[in-house]
Amino acid sequence: MEIQQLLSKYMLEISKVDDENKLYSALVGILKRILDFQVLNVLKDKELIYSEPWDVTIAKEYYADYLAWVEERLHPTFLPFEDIYVGLIPIFKGSNVLSLIVILTTNEPTAEVIDYLQLIAYLSGITLENLRLFKIVDDSRQYYETIINVSNDGIIVFKDHEVEFKNIKAEQILNEHNRLLDEILKNIEN
């Protein structure tokens, strides 16, 4: 498949992900189109967090000595071992490695494929960081909503004269007094 098509397919696949495992699953689908690999492992802080097939692990002795070097270079590397290659693909944002893909393949990839892997690694790093930030924001939102919902006061937040948020007590009060919301909006406008 042509690189332009692969990139379009990749962008389509990652646009659907909403958690880290789905990102890695989408990456497996894309990588299978460009690399004939037997096993794929994803490491985070040197610990296995994802595997394809799910129950197969690549022995650390193949790659452990090269982890620091790959994390420093931030570039995909394929190491030859007898009749296989061990691929190390850092998923990064800026100079931070967020995770590392380890692949077993029988074919050495071309320079063009390695460049494509570099682009995928970078874009995946941005996606992974965004997923983590969205989770932090969502967790914070849930935390503050919980605190606000505990209040005995009715709290309503407006945005452009529309209700953006209301706590449980405000919902209860508005249900008991149907015209109260209209009165509040009139007072805001005046």
CATH code for the domain in which residue 104 is found: 3.30.450.40
pLDDT band at 1 (very low <50, low <70, confident <90, very high): low
Per the structure, the count of domains in the chain is: 2
Same domain for 76 and 124, yes or no, is yes
Classify residue 122: in a domain, yes or no.
Answer: yes
Classify residue 170: in a domain, yes or no.
Answer: yes
Domain that holds residue 158: 151-189
pLDDT tens sequence across 129-143: 999 999 999 999 999
β-pairing, 84-93 vs 96-105, is antiparallel
Same domain for 125 and 185, yes or no, is no
- Residues of the chain with pLDDT > 90: what percent? 67
Same domain for 13 and 40, yes or no, is yes
pTM above 0.85, yes or no: no
Query: Pick the residue with more confidence: 78 or 151?
Result: 78
| From 3-17, 79-93, 174-188, the region with the lowest mean pLDDT | 3-17
pLDDT band at 14 (very low <50, low <70, confident <90, very high): confident
How confident is the prediction for the chain on average, in pLDDT?
A: 91
Classify residue 146: in a domain, yes or no.
Answer: no
For the residues 82-103, what does the mean pLDDT come to?
Answer: 95
Same domain for 63 and 128, yes or no, is yes
What pLDDT does 103 receive?
96
In angstroms, rounded to a whole number, what is the distance separating the alpha carbons of residues 59 and 38?
13
34, pLDDT greater than 60: yes
